[in-house]
């Protein structure tokens, strides 16, 4: 995870506190369960849980760590619960991001939590107002089903917010133009509506997520957020971005270690094709064209 002084400077350029997030409502905070999905990197998972626990004062009982059948010492180490009495579950098999997180979401639902905060174990944050502000945004519109903060890389560059639903043009010849189009939002007072959430750090309304059938488990990795956005959209729910606060996504190397480049692209395209076919209704020709441009983009950035 690194030390706090290393990444604190990435946050200090702008004041990320607005009027609707200055004071945390302790009762609302108690409605939140934190789900961290682990694969191999158990030390990072415990560091992430500790960071959030210390920053927001959540009880350890609000944390759910799910191990995705890691073939190393993760199960033995996480089951010790040395840092606190968090909930620990182990999947019988590694079936990917969606199924692993669904295990945690469903447990949070059974335990009566209203919200679930899905977090990768490589998220860096130092803003004590973030969680309270995201919770307050839910009060602005009863149709909001998920909220994420702005997500940046280690250099402080914000990732595309994906503010609007992709057209066929956006996914093909307009890929470069979408880099600007996807970042353009309407500031509604510290938040904005977007097309899809950021799966590395998203706060879900449990009931709305349940009504939509949770995360679609037909993908192993990638495109889960786009698919979830379509499920919410079908029910009339909305996705929102907390543009007053941000986190750093210190991209884990676990995926790159497990999968070589060609296999990684294959996984990307399998999920992308599923999204286009099942949720956008694309036939073979349009789907193939989109996948061609997707592959070009993949090799350009990987």
The string of pLDDT tens digits covering residues 258-302 is 568 889 999 999 999 999 999 999 999 999 999 999 999 999 877
Round to whole Å and give the CA distance between 122 and 116. Answer: 18
Cα 68 to chain centroid distance, Å, stands at 17
| pLDDT at residue number 116 | 98
| pLDDT at residue number 1 | 40
- Summary mean pLDDT of the chain: 90
CATH superfamily of 4-251: Spore Coat Polysaccharide Biosynthesis Protein SpsA; Chain A (3.90.550.10)
| Range 144-183 burial, b when 16+ CB lie within 10 A, else e | bbbbbbbbbeeeeeeeebbbbebeeebbeeebeebeebbe
pTM for the model stands at 0.90
| pLDDT at residue number 6 | 37
| pLDDT at residue number 251 | 76
- The one-digit pLDDT tens for each residue of the chain (302 residues) are 444 433 444 444 444 444 444 444 677 899 999 999 999 999 999 999 999 999 999 999 999 999 999 999 999 999 999 999 999 999 999 999 999 999 999 999 999 999 999 999 999 999 999 999 999 999 999 999 999 999 999 888 889 999 999 999 999 999 999 989 999 999 999 999 999 999 999 999 999 999 999 999 999 999 999 999 999 999 999 999 999 999 999 876 555 555 688 899 999 999 999 999 999 999 999 999 999 999 999 998 77
Round to whole Å and give the CA distance between 241 and 26. Answer: 22
Per residue in 176-217, pLDDT (tens digit) is: 999 899 999 999 999 999 999 999 999 999 999 999 999 999
Contact predicate 197/146, CB 8 Å: yes
Q: Could you tell me where the DSSP H helices lie in 70-201?
A: 74-78, 97-110, 130-138, 175-181
Round to whole Å and give the CA distance between 97 and 95. Answer: 7
Q: Name which of 121, 215, 197, 203 is nearest 159 in CA terms.
A: 197
* DSSP strand pairing (238-249 vs 191-194): antiparallel
| pLDDT at residue number 14 | 43
Between the alpha carbon of residue 164 and those of residues 140, 198, 287, the distances in Å are 20, 14, 20
Round to whole Å and give the CA distance between 278 and 97. Answer: 19
Round to whole Å and give the CA distance between 275 and 281. Answer: 9
Between the alpha carbon of residue 298 and those of residues 23, 81, 126, 224, 269, the distances in Å are 41, 39, 31, 17, 10
């Amino acid at each position: 995870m690194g030390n706090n002084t290393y990444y604190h400077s990435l946050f200090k350029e702008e004041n990320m506190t607005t009027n609707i997030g200055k004071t945390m409502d302790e009762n609302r905070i108690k409605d939140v369960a934190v789900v961290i999905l682990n694969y191999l990197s158990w030390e990072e998972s415990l560091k992430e849980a500790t960071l959030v626990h210390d920053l927001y004062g959540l009880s350890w009982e609000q944390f759910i760590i799910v191990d995705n059948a890691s073939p190393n010492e993760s199960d033995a180490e996480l089951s010790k619960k040395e840092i606190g009495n968090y909930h620990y579950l182990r999947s019988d098999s590694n079936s990917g991001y969606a199924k692993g997180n669904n295990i945690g979401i469903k447990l949070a639902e059974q335990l009566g939590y209203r919200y679930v905060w899905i977090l990768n174990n490589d998220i860096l944050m130092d803003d004590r107002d973030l969680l309270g502000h995201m919770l307050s945004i839910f009060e602005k519109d009863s149709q909001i089903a998920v909220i994420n903060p702005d997500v940046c890389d280690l250099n402080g560059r914000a990732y595309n917010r994906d503010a609007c639903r992709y057209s066929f043009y956006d996914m093909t010849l307009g890929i470069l133009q979408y880099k600007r189009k996807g970042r353009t939002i309407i500031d509604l007072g510290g938040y904005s509506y977007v097309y899809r959430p950021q799966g590395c750090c998203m706060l879900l309304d449990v009931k709305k997520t349940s009504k939509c059938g949770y995360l679609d488990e037909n993908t192993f990795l990638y495109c889960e957020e786009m698919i979830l956005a379509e499920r919410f959209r079908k029910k009339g729910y909305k996705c929102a971005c907390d543009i007053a606060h941000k986190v750093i996504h210190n991209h884990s190397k676990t995926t790159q270690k497990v999968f070589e480049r060609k296999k990684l692209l294959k996984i990307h395209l399998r999920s992308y094709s599923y999204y286009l076919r099942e949720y956008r209704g694309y036939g073979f020709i349009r789907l193939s064209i989109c996948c061609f441009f997707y592959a070009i983009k993949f090799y350009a950035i990987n």
